[in-house]
Amino acid sequence: MSIDRDEVRRIADLARLEIAGGDVDRMAKELSAVLDFVAALNELDLADCEPTSMVPAAASLRDDEPDGRRLTSEAALAAAPERERDFFLVPPVVENVNP
């Protein structure tokens, strides 16, 4: 199993990452090596194995229970790189808006 340069760029786009031009080849090589390694799983007989996403005993989730403690908006905004009043400020998200 191998990943080529285009595949690295495609995954990087999905992950909102930019891989510098010179690093794409190295990343393709390293990821391919890891995929070759995980191919070992094909040696296991997994026919009767249902997928485990969590350890079952711990996955018995309960209903939410409000406990009264909450974060103020001031505390939540304290680390914001840019803010305006009680909002996180970002560049325009919607394009071509006609007033």
| Chain positions contacting other proteins, by CB under 8 A | 3, 7-8, 11-12, 14-19, 27, 30-31, 33-34, 37-41, 43-44, 46, 49-55, 57-59, 61-62, 64-65, 67, 71, 75-76, 78-82, 88, 90-93
CB of 9 to other proteins, least distance (A): 10
CB of 99 to other proteins, least distance (A): 19
3 contact partners, CB below 8 Å, separation of at least 6 = 11, 28, 31, 32, 35
Rg (alpha carbons) of the chain, rounded to whole number? 23
CB of 92 to other proteins, least distance (A): 7
Nearer to other proteins by Cβ, of 42 and 98: the residue is: 42
Task: Give the helix ranges, DSSP H, for 1-99.
Answer: 5-14, 21-38, 73-77
Nearer to other proteins by Cβ, of 91 and 99: the residue is: 91
Please, how many CA atoms are within 13 Å of residue 12, restricted to the half-sphere of its CB?
17
**Do residues 89 and 82 lie in contact, with contact meaning Cβ atoms separated by under 8 Å?**
yes
